[in-house]
Each structure stands twice: as C-alpha cells, then as structure tokens.
Amino acid sequence: MTSYRILAACAGVLIGAAPAQAHHAWSAVFTEEYTEIEGYVTEYNFKNPHVNIMLSVTDEDGVETEWMATGPAAPPFRRWGWSESTVEVGQYLRLRGRTSRTGAPMIVMVGDDIQAGTFLELDPSDGSVVRAIVGDVAETAEPAALASLPLTLEDGRINLTGTWLGGPRGRRPPPPFNEVGAALQAEFDALDDPAFATCSDPGLVRQVAFTPHPMRIMQYDDRIVFEYEEHGGRREIFLDGRGPETSEHTRFGHHVARYEGNTLVIESSQLLANLASGGGNALSDQTTTVETYRRVDDPELGPMFEMSMEITDPGHLTEPWVIRWVKIYAPEGLDFIEVDCKLPLAPS
C-alpha cells in the first residue's frame, strides 16, 4: 500500500476503449495501470462532457489529497442507470480506474467496471461494504413499442425533427493525410488535446462527425437548428442561401443548407483549424465540409437517419475524407444533461 491508500495496483492490464470513451483518446491520457482509491466524496459531477467523482483521500500520515475519478460522458452513464443521485457527497467510496500519465491524482473509470458493481460504498469505521455503486436500470416485462416517425414533413421535405440517439457506427476510415497532416499527427499528444487540457469547445467535425451521443434537430420553414448534448453545441442554419456576414473563421463556420429530394445537404466553410477527434487528426483553416442526411429506417430499430460528412482540407489532406454514422429516433424525447467541464488535476 502506498502513501495515498492506493490499493491493488496492477500494471500491464490492457483494455479496448469503449466508444463512449474513445473521443478523448484516454488510452493515451491515462496509463494501463489500474489503481483503487478510497475516500470521502466531496463532489459528484453528473454532467457532460465527463462524469466526475471527487474524493478526499487521506494517506497513512494523515495528509489529505483531492483525487478525481473521471469517466465517460453522462449519456452512457444514463444508459447504465446512473443519475444525479447515484452518488452523494459525504459517502466513503472505493473506486477503481487507470492512473494518470502525468502523475496527477486522477483515475479514469472504464465502462466494464462502472457496470459490474466494482465501485463500493464502505463503512469508514471498519471498511465493511455498505453497497455496490451500480445504476438503477428499470426492467420491463414487455419490450417498448417500436417508434414511428413520418418520412416527410407536411410540405414533403425529409423529416428529421426530433431527438436522436447514437446508433450503429458507419464508415470511419483514417484521414488521408498529406505530409503536413501526417507530421502533425505523429507529434500529437492526447494530453495537449484542448478539449481535455483546457475544456475548449470542439470544432465542427469533432462535434458533428465524432460524437456518439444524443442530438436534437428542429426544422422550420426558413432554418434548421441542431443541438448536441455532449458539449452543448448549437447550430442555426438558414435555408435562404445567405452568405457570411464577415470573413471571420469560427469553430462551426458558415453554413449553407438546402433540401435535395429526400436528402438534406449542408455545406460549411470558414472553419477554424481544429482537431477532428480526441485522437488528433488536425485539420487546417482551409477545411470545408458537406453533410448529407437521409432517412434509413429499420424494421427492428425504427426510424433512423444516416449522416455522411465529406471533409476537404487542401492544407492537411490529399483527398476528401468521408465519415458516416447512423442515429436512432428517441420517440419520447430526452432531456439533455448539462455541460460542466472539469479541468484535469495537476501532478501532485
């Protein structure tokens, strides 16, 4: 046992990052060494882009240190039955996770442990187990009725209005880097990812093409509004073909949208240079994108749509990079969980 009551550290355990975890490339931010920590809960942050549990951990000399146990975004926790009340301030917990590569008092909780009842509430007086920290997943006797959603709006346009959940992943080939892009990728360190290091908001490609989490679409006569749960992103895109008001580049850029038969097409330009994902994949400020949305309903899963994004970047790519994914309709609606990004702790 080390000075911080670090329990049962075991090096060399390899796991594959779950989809909900891969967007920050945690395999690079944290080590492959597992550690258990015990302490009193000082904060429980059931928010996006990550759920965090802060523990006050006391070493054998009586010195207290604040530890952060960080996990995936809130949507997978919600699927696993967790909520704002699953953990309470003042509880004494034992948590397991992979240690920070920087030596900071941080662990990352992985999906298998979160669902398996590995995390425990203990009686601090004798160390006995009070309960396993697991989600409350309601069981139903019968499967839910298959959702329905008209393929078109009343005026004949494709119907995308509603809240959509992460569905089967589409084609995500590696980016076709040129020499500049390849050199930047070779130098990329996940610890320098602004979304992790400084809680910076992601750019268009990362928010749209790489998030596996819920999104909402609202269609109006003159515009379309997109809202994204994980980072709280919002896009309002007009349909009148208006040009940009300034030449300024922004993280979401300037959009032009139109309907083509049963497809919605969105073209974007004036984007800031940004990372396409938590694994790096830097794109330059010459990037333009074309998104297409079409319904691909499934007889077993119900209403679905496929998004295809073609990314063109003469600065870092040799040819267009095409990414596809599918979203599944959530018929009863879904309240988005708030965003409250927490900065990583500094090395002790």
Kindly tell me the sign of the dihedral angle through the C-alpha atoms of 111, 114, 115, 118.
positive
Share of the chain above pLDDT 90, in %: 80
What is the spatial distance between Cα 230 and Cα 97, in angstroms, rounded to a whole number?
22
pTM of the model: 0.88
CB burial readout 242-269, b (16+ within 10 A) else e: eeeeeeebeebbbbbbebeeeebebbbe
Q: Average pLDDT in the 294-301 region?
A: 93
Q: Average pLDDT in the 258-279 region?
A: 96
CATH number for the domain spanning 41: value is 2.40.50
Number of folded domains that form the chain = 2
162-169: strand order across its sheet: 234-238, 223-228, 215-219, 162-169, 321-330, 304-312, 288-295, 263-269, 254-260
Cite the DSSP H helix spans in the chain. Answer: 19-22, 26-29, 74-79, 111-116, 179-187, 194-197, 204-209
- For residue 251, the model assigns a pLDDT of 96
Q: Are residues 177 and 315 in the same domain?
A: yes
**Residue 176 CB partners (closer than 8 Å, separation 6+):** 317, 318, 319, 321
Q: Are residues 39 and 171 in the same domain?
A: no
Look at residue 144 and tell me whether its pLDDT is greater than 80: no
- For residue 4, the model assigns a pLDDT of 35
Residues 38-49: tens digit of each pLDDT? 999 999 999 999
Collapsing DSSP to helix, strand or coil, 332 comes out as coil
Amino acid symbol at 243? G
Q: Are residues 316 and 169 in the same domain?
A: yes
Look at residue 6 and tell me whether its pLDDT is greater than 80: no
Look at residue 315 and tell me whether its pLDDT is greater than 90: yes
Residues 87-120: tens digit of each pLDDT? 999 999 999 999 999 999 999 999 999 999 999 9
What is the spatial distance between Cα 268 and Cα 265, in angstroms, rounded to a whole number?
10
Domain that holds residue 71: 7-132
Task: Let me know if residue 280 belongs to a domain.
Answer: yes
Q: Are residues 92 and 40 in the same domain?
A: yes
Task: Decide which of 112, 132, 152 is a domain's last residue.
Answer: 132
- Between 4-18, 70-84, 191-205, 316-330, the lowest mean confidence (pLDDT) is in 4-18
Look at residue 271 and tell me whether its pLDDT is greater than 70: yes
Share of the chain above pLDDT 70, in %: 89
Q: Are residues 248 and 312 in the same domain?
A: yes
Q: Are residues 226 and 282 in the same domain?
A: yes
Nearest 5°: the CA angle 267, 270, 276 is 80
Cβ atoms of residues 37 and 4 within 8 Å: yes
- For residue 28, the model assigns a pLDDT of 78
Task: Let me know if residue 151 belongs to a domain.
Answer: no
Task: Let me know if residue 42 belongs to a domain.
Answer: yes
At 60, is the pLDDT very low, low, confident or very high (cuts 50, 70, 90)?
Answer: confident
Task: Let me know if residue 114 belongs to a domain.
Answer: yes
Q: Are residues 92 and 166 in the same domain?
A: no
At 183, is the pLDDT very low, low, confident or very high (cuts 50, 70, 90)?
Answer: very high
Q: Average pLDDT in the 66-77 region?
A: 95
Look at residue 37 and tell me whether its pLDDT is greater than 50: yes
Look at residue 17 and tell me whether its pLDDT is greater than 70: no
Give the torsion through C-alpha atoms of 10, 11, 12, 15, to 10 deg: 60
Q: Are residues 181 and 125 in the same domain?
A: no
Look at residue 15 and tell me whether its pLDDT is greater than 60: no
Q: Are residues 316 and 172 in the same domain?
A: yes
Q: Are residues 213 and 88 in the same domain?
A: no
Task: Let me know if residue 37 belongs to a domain.
Answer: yes
CATH number for the domain spanning 217: value is 2.40.128
At 338, is the pLDDT very low, low, confident or very high (cuts 50, 70, 90)?
Answer: very high
At 19, is the pLDDT very low, low, confident or very high (cuts 50, 70, 90)?
Answer: very low
Mean pLDDT of the chain: 89
- For residue 171, the model assigns a pLDDT of 65
At 13, is the pLDDT very low, low, confident or very high (cuts 50, 70, 90)?
Answer: very low
Look at residue 141 and tell me whether its pLDDT is greater than 50: no
Q: Are residues 105 and 42 in the same domain?
A: yes
